[in-house]
Amino acid sequence: MQLYNTLSAEERAQLIDEAGKERLTLSFYAYAKIKDPKQFRDELFIAWNALDALGRIYVAHEGINAQMSVPADQFEAFRDTLEVYDFMKGIRLNVAVDQDDYSFLKLTIKVRHKIVADGLNDDSFDVTNKGIHLKAQEFNNLLEDPNTIVVDFRNHYESEVGHFEGAITPDVENFRESLPIINEQLQDFKEDKNLLMYCTGGIRCEKASAYFKHQGFKNVYQLEGGIIEYTRQIKEEGIESKFIGKNFVFDHRLGERITEDIISQCHQCGKPCDNHTNCSNDACHLLFIQCDECKEAMENCCSTECLDISHLPLAEQLELRKGVQVGNKVFRKGKSDALKFKNSGDLPDKPLAKVEAKNIRQKIAIKKVLVGKAEHYYTKSKIGQFLIENKELSIGDKVLISGPTTGEQELTITEIHVNGGPCETAKKGDQITFEIPFRVRLSDKLYKIIQPSENV
Ligand SMILES: [Zn+2]
Ligand SMILES: [Zn+2]
């Protein structure tokens, strides 16, 4: 009986590619009393592994919290695996707006002390005495009430790219920190104000609302199902969005666009931008916002220091990392002095820019044809090895390399080597190498970009 992953993320990505099946990204949670979390975890792993369900799931004595990717045609079967448990009968599954077949590449189910690290002593208050749950329209209505205080219970890097109009956005990097800060800040409003709270999927508010009621707040409300469910409802019912910008999510997409507004800036040049990225220097891995131009100029790095480090041979990088293991902790998530345009705490409601409408005609005009796949990347010499499986590839061709980790990268071929020697045109079956400024992964797809006038 298999209880753990046996495939690497890359092998998994390849399998998903080959299966060509549509997948759904979804999340759900439930607070419940679970006697034996380890047993529960193993049961879920067996049931979900059989359905090819992937994701990151936490189980604890207090319940379950899951972010997952499920094959679309297994959705009902997946739901059945939940209905087996009384406490998950009729559970709401938050299905993401943007779908991405590679949102998760492994099934990881962990037994934890708690499903959300809230730092609360649950025995000190009644966790079942929660706030009033609100649907999207009800939430909008209460937002209009001048007697309402709305609080974002997410972290600084989440609220920076999107939040509700007029929300208090605490400058915190985890949920645990935000509870005492908000309690302190709102001391004088316990009796007469409406405390309106929200988070990504609703789970943080489940506990926080009970905590604030225990602290003496009289009118506590929470957004049911969080921003994810709010978005679903406003789309379905045609309700105006009071949420502006992007909803940060914890899979590799890092965000779902809710409105066309961009409310944050590239942390390096200040231009309106709301795309998060992780610094390419693996020793840093800082989460920050970077525009396409800075991404290119800085090669995905957060600072010139990291850029220099990322250019060192891997062995030297590893050597450097040994010494700074402790030093790493000084990096606050999404904060560094090198980032001049990082905003947190008081955030603007005014959009800085709108997302540019995609040029649909241009998109249709550009065609691509699959010519092969990546087989290897020589990190030191920055050389990629590919196998040509279809058509041919010549010097001067524009190509697109695409894969779950690599993303979509374009470049023009300036040289090709076949069997160690240079050549003009590589043919089907050739194993070729060429210099490539970014890392490619096993099975990344190599496409030739065809201009409209050209024939394939
Ligand atoms: Zn920039
Ligand atoms: Zn960095």
Residues paired with residue 277 on neighbouring β-strands, in sequence order: 288
> What are the pLDDT digits (tens) for 140-181?
999 999 999 999 999 999 999 999 999 999 998 888 889 999
Query: How many CB atoms neighbour CB 150 within 10 A?
Result: 23
Spatial contact of 40 and 62, defined as CB atoms under 8 Å apart: no
CA of 110 to the centre of ligand 2 (A): 29
How many Å from the N-terminal Cα to the C-terminal Cα in the chain? 49
Q: What dotted CATH number matches 360-450?
A: 2.40.30.10
Pairing assessment for the beta strands 194-198 and 148-152 based on DSSP bridges: parallel
CA of 117 to the centre of ligand 1 (A): 33
Spatial contact of 244 and 351, defined as CB atoms under 8 Å apart: yes
Residues paired with residue 111 on neighbouring β-strands, in sequence order: 59
Cα separation, 69 vs 420, in Å, equals 42
CA of 265 to the centre of ligand 1 (A): 8
Judge residue 93's burial from the number of C-beta atoms within 10 Å of its C-beta, 0-12 exposed, 13-18 middle, 19 or more buried. Answer: middle
Spatial contact of 217 and 243, defined as CB atoms under 8 Å apart: no
Distance of CA 247 to the CA centre of its chain: 9
> What are the pLDDT digits (tens) for 242-262?
999 999 986 666 788 899 999
> What are the pLDDT digits (tens) for 10-56?
777 777 666 667 888 889 999 888 999 999 999 999 999 999 999 99
> What are the pLDDT digits (tens) for 312-343?
888 888 887 775 554 444 445 667 878 888 88
State yes or no: is 302 an active-site residue: no
Identified catalytic residue from 199, 279, 301, 306: 199
Mean pLDDT of the chain: 86
**Overall fold of domain 9-111:** Alpha-Beta Plaits (3.30.70)
Where exactly are the structural domains of the chain?
Answer: 9-111, 360-450
Percent of the chain with pLDDT over 90: 51
Nearest Cα residue to 159 out of 358, 349, 388, 374: 349
pLDDT band at 382 (very low <50, low <70, confident <90, very high): confident
Query: How many CB atoms neighbour CB 429 within 10 A?
Result: 9
CA of 320 to the centre of ligand 2 (A): 14
H or E, element range at 64: strand 63-71
What pLDDT does 330 receive?
40
Which residues are in the CB-under-5-Å shell of ion ligand 2? 279, 281, 284, 286, 302, 306
HEC string for 307-325? HHHHHCCHHHHHHHHHHCC
Phi, psi of 378 (to 5 degrees): -90, 100
pLDDT band at 364 (very low <50, low <70, confident <90, very high): very low
**Token digits of residue 119:** 């730092």
Cα separation, 310 vs 304, in Å, equals 10
What pLDDT does 439 receive?
85
Cα separation, 263 vs 152, in Å, equals 16
